[in-house]
Amino acid sequence: MSTFGQVVGYFVTFGTNHLDTNWSWRAPYLLQCLVCFFFGLAMLFMPYSPRWLIDKGLNEKALIALASLRGTGYIQNEFEEIKNEIEFERSLGKRTYAELFTTSSNRRRFFSAAFIAIANSFTGIVSIWYYAPQIFLTAGLSDVSSSIAITGGTGFLSFVCVAISSQWVIDSWGRKKLFLSGSLIMAISMFIIGSMFEIYTIVDIKTGDVLIQNAPARNTIIAFLYIFTGTYAFTWGIANYVYPAEVFNMRTRAKGLGIIYGLNWAFSIMITYSTPPFLASTVSGAYFFFGACQVVTMAGLWFLPETAGKTLEEMEYIFGAQ
């Protein structure tokens, strides 16, 4: 849904860009508030998870929820497995943030999830999302409307890729394969984009603007920006949310995910604010930087365990819990 929201946002701003009043920027903000209101109402009708219901002692409701999720009545073994794990965790006492670091198993879970969260920020996707119109203008597009329209195209491509990956790919391929293949393609894309900017950028003597007038170079940049955003949506865009949620056990998940998503947002905000001066100081450096980050990320991914198709209880064995 977040990707769909981006698509709508791109084309809303494309439309309001033609307004000559303050509503050109007020309207998109008001529409976001309206959407958030309806999503807030929709959350009231979301079902509780079976694990949460068992944790609160609502076993009958948990059985009903589990049966509806699995589409079968043969869920008693899974119910007992979840219940036994929760009872064992309760026997360990009160849940604390310190528990994330007190055992080697929990530390490995936390640092695996933290690596994904931070690496996701350094893919460069935040910079592309927020500053794509400016990047397209620098690449040689003639006007703001064209750059916003093409940016909307990247958003639509991302939406399609997310839909395909979430339905048919993420479980069959596995998390690590998605991460590795995504990082490889995004690294190549960033290096090619950076090379085009480095080789073909010129300064307009009359206006002082930095831009590209070479049509093949401009088209190459646009093509690989599409490849980059589509690849991110197909791979990291889905898996970077799934992986951290899978690695934590019931006892540490709430506190662990709170810190992990906080890290992701903190680094994303840092990159968002550092991108404009980065782009202003060098035409190609940002792209080479993000490409290099992907190379480093690929090295780190080899040390992460695969979690696809594993229950939360099986994660105890994967992460070496005693």
- Could you read off the pLDDT of 109-127 as tens digits, one per residue? 999 999 999 999 999 999 9
- Structure-model confidence comparison of residues 94 and 62, the more confident one: 62
- Residues 192, 245: one domain? yes
- Residues 118, 198: one domain? yes
Q: Please report the pLDDT score of residue 167 as a whole number.
A: 73
Q: Please report the pLDDT score of residue 147 as a whole number.
A: 67
- Residues 83, 108: one domain? no
Are residues 126 and 237 in contact, defined by beta-carbon separation less than 8 angstroms? no
Both structure tokens of 96: 């604390």
Q: Please report the pLDDT score of residue 30 as a whole number.
A: 84
- Residues 264, 308: one domain? yes
Q: Round to whole Å and give the CA distance between 155 and 122.
A: 19
Are residues 222 and 150 in contact, defined by beta-carbon separation less than 8 angstroms? yes
Q: Round to whole Å and give the CA distance between 120 and 116.
A: 6
Of 39, 68, 91, the last residue of a domain is 91
Of 59, 91, 123, the last residue of a domain is 91
For the chain, count helices (H), then strands (E). 15, 2
- Residues 67, 150: one domain? no
Q: Please report the pLDDT score of residue 10 as a whole number.
A: 67
Q: Look at residue 114 and tell me if it is in a domain.
A: yes
pLDDT per position as a tens digit, 173-190: 888 999 999 999 999 999
Q: Look at residue 301 and tell me if it is in a domain.
A: yes
- Residues 312, 178: one domain? yes
- Residues 130, 62: one domain? no
pLDDT per position as a tens digit, 210-255: 778 888 998 999 999 999 999 999 999 889 988 998 888 878 888 9
- Residues 268, 233: one domain? yes
- Residues 184, 293: one domain? yes
Using DSSP's 3-state secondary structure scheme, residue 56 falls into coil
Q: Which residues contact 303 (CB under 8 A, 6 or more apart)?
A: none
pLDDT per position as a tens digit, 134-179: 888 888 776 665 666 677 777 778 778 877 877 777 777 888 999 9
Q: Look at residue 8 and tell me if it is in a domain.
A: no
Q: Look at residue 1 and tell me if it is in a domain.
A: no
Residues 234-252 as b or e (16 or more Cβ within 10 Å = b): bbbbbbbbbbbebbbbbbb
Q: Is the pLDDT of residue 208 over 70?
A: no
pLDDT per position as a tens digit, 258-312: 999 999 999 999 999 999 999 888 889 999 999 999 999 999 999 898 888 777 6
How confident is residue 206, by pLDDT bands cut at 50, 70 and 90?
Answer: low
- Residues 180, 85: one domain? no
Q: Look at residue 253 and tell me if it is in a domain.
A: yes
pLDDT per position as a tens digit, 127-136: 998 888 888 8
Both structure tokens of 262: 């906080």
Of 65, 91, 117, the last residue of a domain is 91
CB atoms within 10 A of CB 142: 9
Best CA proximity match to 306, nearest among 179, 169, 183: 179
Q: Is the pLDDT of residue 322 over 50?
A: no
Number of domains the chain is built from: 2
Residue 122's Cβ-count burial label (10 Å; 0-12, 13-18, 19+) is buried
Q: Which residues contact 298 (CB under 8 A, 6 or more apart)?
A: 180, 183, 184, 187
Both structure tokens of 319: 């992460």
Task: Please give the residue range of the domain that contains residue 70.
Answer: 50-91
- Residues 59, 111: one domain? no
Q: Look at residue 34 and tell me if it is in a domain.
A: no
Q: Round to whole Å and give the CA distance between 212 and 199.
A: 9
pLDDT per position as a tens digit, 33-56: 888 888 889 888 888 888 888 888
- Residues 238, 286: one domain? yes
Q: Look at residue 32 and tell me if it is in a domain.
A: no
Residue 264 sits in a domain whose CATH number is: 1.20.1250.20
Q: Look at residue 44 and tell me if it is in a domain.
A: no
Q: Please report the pLDDT score of residue 144 as a whole number.
A: 63
